[in-house]
Amino acid sequence: MMSVSKDELSFRSAIKEAIDEELAADDNVIFFGEDVAEAGGVFAATPGLRDKYGDERVFDTPISELALASAAFGSAVAGLRPIVEIMFADFLFLAMDSLINQSAKYWYLSNEQKSIPLVVRSAVGGGVGFGPIHSQVPISWFLGVPGLKIVAPSTPNDAKRLLKAAIRDENPVLFFEHKALYSTTEIREEITGVDILGKGRIARDGSDITLVSCMRGVADCLEAAQLLSGIGISAEVLDLRSLRPMDSAMIQQSFSKTKSLLVVEEGPITGGWAGEVIAIANEVNEGNGKKLWRMATEDRPIPFSPVLENAFFPSARSIFESVRERHAK
């Protein structure tokens, strides 16, 4: 492993430091998963934590993604704040029942009496020779789940800041770490406020086109922006950081300025989060006679009460009212 100076922070070290600091700050925080303790993580992101905090707070588990997610849900209900590592995000579908039908909905089903503060860390992405079953970015599987937050950092400092925020958050959070970023470094920043879930950042100012991405794609967009500057095109680069919720205001403001937008997503084009970014941008830019918007259900679980359930879905009346209101503008 390459050496890093004390003034630099690697992505790998950022993950460990965030978990270490939150374990030290709150006795209710626990950390478990596949090879995270004795081996220190398959990507060497968590060495030494078991020795520091003991087997009751940092421990290895069998390879059962559903069991991991279920244990996280149960421990969160019991008052703990679990951090779970599912080694490869390709296998998160094995944990979907616990994450989607229990963890993400418990606050709603308990009539807002009990939140589920848990974090699932998982490695994603290609470019490092892991093949088709260990290189996917399955964000789109979870993008439409109310009650679930999705975080996807691109830099070491943001990885630390966002992971600390995720651990402190009262909601279940999926925290994706791109495998190609673990060895990247940058100058260490002082981590102060960590209330940044759902807030993107402008990685580069520009005026002619907006480039939007997350994780490894941000560095690619920054490099492309530098190349574009050589031919007189000023590109603004947005780092989403969180994919649920997205920073809609940042996207809309940038698109309103540049009037041109390209989204770069590592993942299948059909059903991906890139389409969500484009929809967000378009819905606020209806100039030149263009009117484009969406209707769908609200971002919350489906109610049980027949009256509430019937009011929850789009209907002929709600479609009529929406068209009448928007068309008149």
- Cα separation, 203 vs 213, whole angstroms: 10
Residue 298 is a catalytic residue:
no
- Annotated catalytic residue within 134, 177, 236, 266: 134
- The per-residue b/e assignment along 124-138, b for 16 or more CB within 10 angstroms, e otherwise, is bbbeeeeeeebbbbb
Residue 178 is a catalytic residue:
no
- The residues facing 207 across adjacent strands are none
- Annotated catalytic residue within 17, 65, 265, 276: 65
**Residue 28, φ and ψ in degrees, nearest 5:** -80, -10
Q: Residue 153: which residues within 8 A CB-CB, separation 6 or more?
A: 159, 162, 163, 177, 214, 215, 241
- CA 87 and chain centroid, separation: 16
Sign of CA dihedral 161, 201, 139, 217: negative
- The residues facing 241 across adjacent strands are none
Q: Residue 27: which residues within 8 A CB-CB, separation 6 or more?
A: none
**Annotated active-site positions, please?**
65, 134
